[in-house]
Copies of this chain bind each other. A is one copy, B any other.
């Protein structure tokens, strides 16, 4: 392995100078700089990142906590995060928590503050206490997809107006003429999809329908979950002409359930989801959904995290716990994407 010192010797200078040309710090004469550059090229020198991390007191990596990278939404987000990080010379460590707070804590314990300079959290079912502890240990934390911009979580975050997303979805159905709409909520009653459901209810209300009274089922946020929920919903409420799911995966599952029930989408049943994952485009019929600005959210999250990392420690701590509330960045608004899974109800 080539070290700074070897490069220095080769160039007839000292390691400090080499370090300086490497990072464009301090003044270095043009001649020496060239000599150093040549030596670096000749020796094929590459900086030793852990050594640098140790000396700088800051690692070049950040951690992304997800419950399972295999969830079809996460890779799209992870890709955007990685791209943003790469631009600034940072690296991405993926931490799967398996939805288990213990595993998440173990990861935070090991990584945060030394191996990774900061932590991005995608709904990974982590204890907030652990996250605050992580901040205290010097690794800023950013929540990547907070659901309620107006109701901050006490942690820096990127917020998406999912309530609006729910409203847009419901409104679309209502405008098509649907009145009997069922809802599939991809989490527990109190869960992270609550805002999406609220938006739905509000839109119904606004249309003069008792939204809260509309058939609703809480299910796991998966294709399977949506499938089972749709089956049950349609069996119990054959009068339904449309289904609203708080996420694309359950919506896709609902479409499959319809297919298995012999219901033609969208002629006999309309289905709408939220997020606009890749699969939404690729399903048949293609899914009408409310697109969430994933890439934008990833970029905001990375920017925010970097800011916190670069901030003086005191400030960073204050941001988390002091007088001034943690920052929340709001993305641009979600927007409806009409595809082939929605149509006016049959008469």
A interface list, Cβ under 8 A from B? 1, 44, 46-51, 53-54, 59-61, 68-72, 74-76, 78-79, 82-83, 86, 89, 91-96, 109-111, 113-115, 137-138, 223, 252-253, 255-256, 259-260, 278-279, 282, 284
Contact = CB atoms under 8 A, between A and B. Distances in A.
7 contacts: A46-B110, A48-B54, A49-B115, A51-B54, A72-B278, A82-B96, A91-B93
A245 to B, nearest CB: 15
Given A82-B69, A256-B282, A113 B46 contact: yes
A63 to B, nearest CB: 8
Nearest to A91: B93
Given A49-B110, A70-B278, 17 more contacts: A1-B113, A46-B110, A48-B54, A50-B50, A54-B54, A60-B115, A61-B93, A61-B115, A68-B79, A70-B75, A70-B79, A72-B72, A74-B75, A79-B96, A82-B95, A83-B96, A91-B93
A47 B109 CA distance: 9
A95 B91 CA distance: 8
A61 to B, nearest CB: 7
Contact of A252 (B79, B115, B282): B282
Number of copies: 2
A38 to B, nearest CB: 18
Contacts of A96: 79, 82-83, 86
A284 B92 CA distance: 35
A28 to B, nearest CB: 23
A109 B89 CA distance: 12
A322 B83 CA distance: 37
A91 B111 contact: yes
Contacts of A60: 115
A166 B82 CA distance: 34
Nearest to A277: B70
A47 B114 contact: yes
Contacts of A110: 46, 49, 89, 91
B72 A78 contact: no
Nearest to A89: B110
